[in-house]
Structure formats: C-alpha cells, structure tokens
Structure 1
C-alpha cells in the first residue's frame, strides 16, 4: 500500500521554524528520512518552497484555466512538504507518520494512494494499463 504523508504547518508553526536552529531541523528530518530509507518504505519526499514568486495556482473554473500567484487558497495551514511511502498496512503508515519530528502547529495528512483494485470494473481500462507500464518504465513502484 502506498501512502502520501502531507506536511501542513500553521502560520505560527512557520514563524517558529523561521527562528529555529535550521541545522537542528535538518538533523531531525535527516534522521527520520534515513529511518524511512533503511526500512525500505520511502519512495519519495521533499519540502516545498514558500516563495510566492515561484508558486502559482491553476483554477479550472473557467476556460481557459485561470493562473494566479499562489500557492494557497487558505493560509491558516500551509502545505509545506510530503513523503511517499510504501507499507504493508494502514497501521504501519500510522506508525511512520507518528514518528515524524514535527512540532506543535504542524500536522501530517496521510492519504492512501489509489491502487488498480480501487477502480473496480474499470480496472481493465487500457489507459490504466498504460499508466502502469509508464510507472514500471520509470522505475516507480
């Protein structure tokens, strides 16, 4: 089972981060990432830039879509990073998410990534089969 761990931080947590010892944060996150890698569960992960100049939102409410500076619809919780993990169960995903070294004002939203079985009768759709081939060719699990 694949899960995406979505890191969210309130504005207060972001302010705390700005005044924290960056080396200490890097060490804690590095140790967490190393544990994920050594356990063989980490597929991907990265932090996201806060720079408003580099981020944008594409809103598909109109044709053509509207592009605005972003990245956030609501700034009370900022999406600041993610991990993709592959584990055997929801319980294992909970265990790894609970070990993340985040502090007060931060949350992890944990979402299971869809699998072919989630598509029911449409699981034999050739487009889905092609996506599986692309994943295999690119080395994705």
Structure 2
C-alpha cells in the first residue's frame, strides 16, 4: 500500500533554521542543522535501498506559498503567503510503498526522532494512506 507521510512546521521554525529564533522556536546552530540533514539523508537512503521510498521532499519557507481560488465569476484570486492565521504548515513529505500500516508507522516513529535543538517545537508525523481505488492515472 502507498502512504503519504508528512512532517509539519511553522514559519517561525523556518526562521529559526535560518538563525533567527523566537519565543516559538529557538535558533538552530550549524551543528543542529547538520545533525538534522544527516539524519534525514540517512533515512532517505535506507528507504530508497529498501524500495519503499517513491518520493520525498522538504518544502520551502511558507513565505513562498501561493493560494489560488476562484471568485464568484470564476476568475482566479491569488494570495501570497505567509499567513499569520496559519499555525502549522506542511514542511516535507514522503510517498512510501509499505507492506503494512505497522511498517509505515515504524518509519514515522523514526522520523519523529529527528534531532533538533532543545526547546524546538515538536509536531506529530502524519500518515495518510493513498487511495488507489479511483480512476486510472494513465
């Protein structure tokens, strides 16, 4: 089965990773960033080697977000980020093909152990099964 595994963050977290900490998220130093990237790179390499990783990406700062909706006449309405009312945003994801929910849960628990500086906010790792019952994607 295929699963989408997501990690969350906030605009404050992206600022903190750039060395600009706040009350919500302490500044990351070079060692903390290196530990996080080393952890994620090792995890990704192992998931590729096992054949479970189909895709995975970290996402840029939510300040680069763009929302597109339609007005009453069907014209696009474009809004650029960041959004003060948004607490958490999608920070990164993996598309995994795993034999079971238990296996993807093991992987998510490992993701949750990613090193970060003391006092940094902790977010749950979100697992969603990908619905493959719909029309063919070809």
Q: Of 65, 80, 89, which aligns to 1:55?
A: 65
**1:64 offset after TM fit, Å?**
1.7
Which is further off, 58-67 or 85-94? 58-67
**1:60 offset after TM fit, Å?**
3.9
**How many angstroms apart in 1 are the aligned matches of 2:77 and 2:36?**
36
Confirm whether residue 6 of structure 1 aligns to residue 3 of structure 2.
no
**1:34 offset after TM fit, Å?**
1.2
Determine the structure 1 residue equivalent to 2:129.
112
**1:74 offset after TM fit, Å?**
4.1
Q: Of 24, 29, 32, which aligns to 2:35?
A: 24
> Any conservation in 2 of the 1:57–1:71 contact (CA below 8 Å)?
no
Confirm whether residue 84 of structure 1 aligns to residue 95 of structure 2.
yes
Which ranges in structure 1 are unaligned for 5 or more consecutive residues?
120-127, 135-141
71 and 90 in structure 1: CA distance in 2 versus 1, 3 angstrom threshold: farther
11 and 105 in structure 1: CA distance in 2 versus 1, 3 angstrom threshold: farther
Q: TM-score, normalised by structure 2?
A: 0.73
Aligned positions, number = 120
Give the root-mean-square deviation of aligned CA atoms.
2.4
Which ranges in structure 2 are unaligned for 5 or more consecutive residues?
19-27
**1:9 offset after TM fit, Å?**
1.6
